[in-house]
Structure 1
Amino acid sequence: MDPALEEVEFLARSTNRVEVLAALADQPRTRRDLESVTGASQPTLGRILRDFEDRRWVERTDEGYTATATGRLVAEGIVDLRETVETELKLRDVIEWLPTAEMDVDLRRFRDATITVPTETRPSAPVGRSLELVRDADCVRSVSHAFNDRSLDLLRRRTTEGEATFEGVFAASAIEAVTDDAVLCRRFRELVDSENATIRVYDGAVPLAVTIADDVVSLLVRDDDGVLQAAVDTDDEAVREWARETHERYWTDSRPLEVADLEE
């Protein structure tokens, strides 16, 4: 077996080993400190520390124990690996539908994301989660290939009543779909006519549906048949910056939509 993988396996077989090494890489600690931080027993800590000393990952100091330079290197690597795998596990069931080709952001930034999927009792849970974020926001920006009648109603009400501002860029096909429905078109006209809303039309393909509600980014992901599979939202700074840049890019490349452009 590869010696490097053997060391990875040695660490991975024990959560306590990972926690102890990460704790010592953070700052020097006594065995009592380590017991408090990791929950490991003193006999377990003794075995771990001896193994780490043998590998020259930790050394004794007047303050107890501290990680060596190589110990800090290994700690950083194993913590990064764990966080990477944790993120993969979280995204595994939705990754095939995420618009990753459009997402110039490290997927590890989604480690703390909230993922909402449909259930038998709540088939519209992803839309409900997206509406929850919009309902509490003062500023909403969107880039999307489609409209949802519930979000349209919510945005129409909040902008016409002066509760929020909205800047939306939508695929031309999405606008056409709305105008083909008399009821939706009437509601849409009210949204477009609101002084707190600005709608623009993008004539090319829009392969994503992303909304920025204040500081939270939400993506609605659909399968190849257009069936909604999940809502993924996060307040991660890097994801937020990507979403803002994406909105700005589509906004610049789109054309304004006026009420007069919508047929009665």
Structure 2
Amino acid sequence: MKPALEEIEFLALSANRVEVLRLLAEGRRSRGELADATGASQATLGRILSDFEDRSWIRRDGDAYAATATGRLVAAGFTDLREILETEMRLREVIDYLPTHAMDVDLRRLADATITVPSQMRPNAPLSRLLDLLREGDEIRTFSHAFNEQTLAVVRERTATGDQRFRGVFSRNAIDALADEPELARRLRTLLETDGVEIRVRDEGVPLAVMIVDDVVYLLLRDENGVLQASIDTDDPAVRSWAQDTADHYWRTARPLEPDAFPS
């Protein structure tokens, strides 16, 4: 274990070493090309190349250098580690709220996701981003343990004009919370009577709050008290495939919500 960690440290302590090995793993390079790409001096490059040759990570190829099979292996592994750590650092502040137990998703697929957190100037920033997406979206699918007033209002407005189709599965608690408010219950009934709207309720509950807005998957992240702490949205194909499959599962295990369940 220790020798391997020492090799990781050897690479990690020099950005030039990491970059030179990456470049040589991609293909043959001369010292001049390496200098132009990295900005490293010839003296620095000389030490790096010598150290790499000692480890059999690279070999001379005429007047240039190329990575060996093991050099390419090390470069690929280090790149993977760096990308994993970069993703972890991005998710660190929201990981406590991310329902990973209910997400069959490789977290590396969230590397380029947009993470929105509340701020002093924009305390409702996560919800505001969702509402902005909803105002532009044509096809909406959702499965969620919550259905708030603002989301309901935007969906009612968009579907009423025929500009949006909405299909959702909600937990019984989410629907009951709206039913307890007469005005919100009336709005929900109006939504259910709208063409292009289908809603089902799931008595077993829904452990996530996810919306698929056209090609974008949007997750609302709440703490154990139900307070909205962040949101994540991404158009990553693998995340979208997971969200669509999960939406299908909840849809099959839920019951239709009829308009006559609410007062007119």
Deviation at 1:253, TM superposition (A): 0.4
Q: 1:256 to 1:37 in 2, by over 3 A?
A: farther
Residue 226 of structure 2 aligns with an amino acid whose one-letter code is G
Superposed CA deviations along residues 166-200 of structure 1, whole A, max 9, x for unmatched, are 11110011111111112212222222111121111
Partner of 1:55: 55
Distance 1:64 1:223, change over 3 A: same
Residue 25 of structure 1: how far off its partner (Å)? 1.1
The CA deviation string for residues 65-101 of structure 1, in whole angstroms up to 9 with x for no partner, is 2110000110111111111111111111111111101
- Matched residues in 2 for 1:5 and 1:192: separation? 60
* 1:134 alignment counterpart: 134
C-alpha displacement of 1:261:
1.9
1:263 CA displacement: 2.6
The letter for the 1-side match of 2:208 is L
Residues 9 and 259 of structure 1, relative CA distance in 2, 3 Å threshold? same
Structure 1 residue runs of 4 or more that deviate by more than 6 Å after TM superposition:
none
Question: How many angstroms apart in 1 are the aligned matches of 2:37 and 2:134?
Answer: 39
Per-residue deviation, 1:220: 0.4
- Post-superposition offset of 1:63: 6.8
Matches within 5 A, 1:12-91: 12-62=12-62, 64-91=64-91
Q: Secondary structure of the equivalent of 1:7?
A: helix
Structure 2: how far apart are the matches of 1:218 and 1:239? 10
Residue type of the alignment partner of 1:115: I
Alignment partner, residue 95 of structure 2:
95
Alignment of 1:1-264 (within 5 A): 2-62=2-62, 64-264=64-264
Provide the C-alpha distance between the structure 2 equivalents of 1:4 and 1:106, rounded to a whole number of angstroms: 26
Counterpart contact for 1:160–1:196, Cα < 8 Å: no
Q: Secondary structure at the match of 1:96?
A: helix
Structure 1 portions without partners, runs of 5+: none
Greater alpha carbon shift after TM alignment, 36-45 vs 108-117:
36-45
Deviation at 1:60, TM superposition (A): 1.9
- Whole-Å Cα distance in 2 between the matches of residues 162 and 30 of structure 1? 61
CA separation in 1, counterparts of 2:180 and 2:63?
73
Distance 1:179 1:13 in 2: 59
Matches of 1:84 and 1:168, distance apart in 2: 33
Distance 1:44-1:132 versus aligned 2 partners, 3 A rule: farther
User: Per the alignment, do residues 40 and 154 of structure 1 end up closer, same or farther by CA in structure 2, a change over 3 Å counting?
Assistant: farther
Letter in 1 for 2:210: V
Letter in 2 for 1:180: D
SS in 2 for 1:201: strand
Whether the 8 Å CA contact 2:160–2:194 is kept in 1: the answer is: yes
Task: Tell me how far apart the structure 1 counterparts of residues 62 and 74 of structure 2 sit (CA, whole Å).
Answer: 23
- CA distance in 1 between counterparts of 2:63 and 2:224 reads 58
**Contact 2:189–2:260 at 8 Å: present in 1 too?**
no
Name whichever of 214-223 and 189-198 sits farther off.
189-198
Equivalent residue letter for 1:71:
G
One-letter amino acid of the structure 2 residue matched with residue 56 of structure 1: S
Contact 1:156 1:191 in 2 (8 A): yes
Task: For 1:11, give the aligned amino acid.
Answer: L
60-69 vs 99-108, which deviates more? 60-69
CA RMSD of aligned residues (A): 1.5
Aligned length, in residue pairs? 264
- TM-score of the aligned structures, taking structure 1 as reference length: 0.95
Contact 1:158 1:164 (C-alpha < 8 Å) held by counterparts? yes
- What TM-score, normalized to structure 2? 0.95
